[in-house]
Amino acid sequence: MPGEERLREVVAAMLELDVADVDDDTSTDTVLTWDSVRHMNLVIALEQAFDITIPDDDVATMTSYPIVRAVVEEQLGGG
């Protein structure tokens, strides 16, 4: 997706990871510090960085980097 590098930077910053460590294996199963507070910080940071609104139903299901990317893409009109 366009802006994927920015997406990885936001995810890395909010989950306190190195950008290089954010890939398709990044998920709540592999990142043990991905808790509810960091999750909500991630949602808000994504909304601000990409000027989008993430629907409530998607907030609860964004449990991996591929899903995060798909949700952001959809809200940018590319999904």
Partner 1 sequence: MAAADVATPALDRLEARFRSASPIFRDAVPRVRTLLGGRWAADADDAVARLLPSDDAVAGAVDGYARFALDALRLQARFEQTGEYRHRTYDEVAAAVYLDDEYMRTCYLPGLLLAHYLWPHHYRQLRAFDAWAEDVARTGPGRCSEVGVGTGIYSRRLLAAAPDLLGTAFDISPQSAAFARRHAEAFGLGDRLRVELRDVIADPPEPADHLVCVEVLEHLEDPVAFLGGLRAMLRPGGRAFIATALNAANADHIYLYRTSSEVIVQLEAAGFAVEGYVSNWAAVPRRPGVPVPEVIAFMVS
Residues forming the site for partner 1 (CB under 8 A): 28-29, 32, 34-40, 43-44, 56, 59-60, 63
Q: Which residues fall within 8 angstroms of residue 63, CB to CB, at 6 or more apart?
A: 27, 28
Q: Which is nearer to partner 1, 7 or 42 (CB)?
A: 42
Q: Which is nearer to partner 1, 6 or 38 (CB)?
A: 38
CA distances to 12, 23, 56 from 9, rounded to whole Å, are: 5, 11, 23
Q: Which is nearer to partner 1, 2 or 32 (CB)?
A: 32
We find the least distance from the C-beta atom of residue 41 to partner 1, in angstroms, to be: 8
